[in-house]
Amino acid sequence: MVPAPHWTTVRGPTFIRLLARLTDVDVASSKSSLSDRLSHWLDWTHAVALSTVLDGEHSTENGAPGFGDSEEDECARTRSSLALAIAGDRAFTEESDARETGDYTPFRQRYLALQRKMLATTGHLRGRLRDMLAQKSAPMAQLAAVDAVMERALSPREQMLLASVSGVLGQHFERLREAELKTLADAQASETAPAATPGAWLDVFRRDMQSVLLAELDVRFQPVEGLLAALRTR
């Protein structure tokens, strides 16, 4: 079997815990609160925009579609469709010569393509749900405006951080491959049966990559879920 990489114990969302497990470093717990860390992501223009939204008066908007079971079902179908796209992506279903070449490039390209698909889809849903929320009541219109400001403020940093995930997976890819090569070389030198099936490391990597993508999908849907929860209120 391919030797397991070093697992780091980290508490938090599944996405963060998975990434921590796939790295070869210890992750120290942050001593800063969430609000403190978010303050570094907001510049003065974002702070002014947020203050304006919080202090201003809001009226309901007309023309946006109303929220109902059909819209909620559509959100569920969209999320399911993205999950199926991840599960059935060719990175996990097609044969690859990466076992022999050790080339991570095709996997990186597929990860980035799936990220773009998730970003476009969740962004569209978020905007649509926000429009629906803005026509419910003045308080809900304010909440929709706050969400819009926070999306503009946080999205660039969020996308930058999420884009770095493919690099983390690339390092994991190399560690798994090198670990198997060492195991096979040691077995050959000692003239014993290898403890790993040649090429098994790639199957391990594919499962890990797929798990990270599905966990990232959960993260990207959190704002959508928050808007859905607000729309469900009567």
Domain assignment present for 4 = no
Nearest 10 degrees: CA dihedral of 129, 130, 136, 138? Answer: 170
The CA-atom distances, in angstroms, between 153 and each of 49, 50, 70 are 10, 9, 31
pLDDT > 80? residue 210: yes
Q: Is residue 184 part of a domain?
A: yes
Please check whether residue 177 lies inside any domain of the structure: yes
34 or 200, which is more confident? 200
Question: Into how many domains does the chain fold?
Answer: 1
pLDDT of the residue at 139: 87
| Among 13, 7, 211, residue whose Cα is nearest residue 111 | 211
Task: Return the closest-CA partner of residue 78 out of 221, 232, 223.
Answer: 221
Average pLDDT of span 223-233: 91
Domain assignment present for 91 = yes
Task: Judge whether 197 and 26 are in contact, CB under 8 Å.
Answer: no
* 183 in any annotated domain: yes
Mean residue pLDDT across the chain: 83
- Which carries the bigger pLDDT value, residue 169 or residue 185? 169
Pair of tokens at residue 70: 């059909």
Whether residue 59 is contained in a domain is answered as no
DSSP 85: H
pTM listed for this prediction: 0.82
From the list 231, 216, 224, 229, the residue with the least C-alpha distance to 124 is 224
Q: Which residue has the tokens 């120290």?
A: 28
Confirm whether 220 is domain-assigned: yes
Give me the domain span that covers residue 86. 64-232
Q: In this predicted structure, what is the pLDDT of residue 12?
A: 56
Residue 151 predicted with pLDDT over 60: yes
Q: Which pLDDT belongs to residue 13?
A: 79
**87 inside domain:** yes
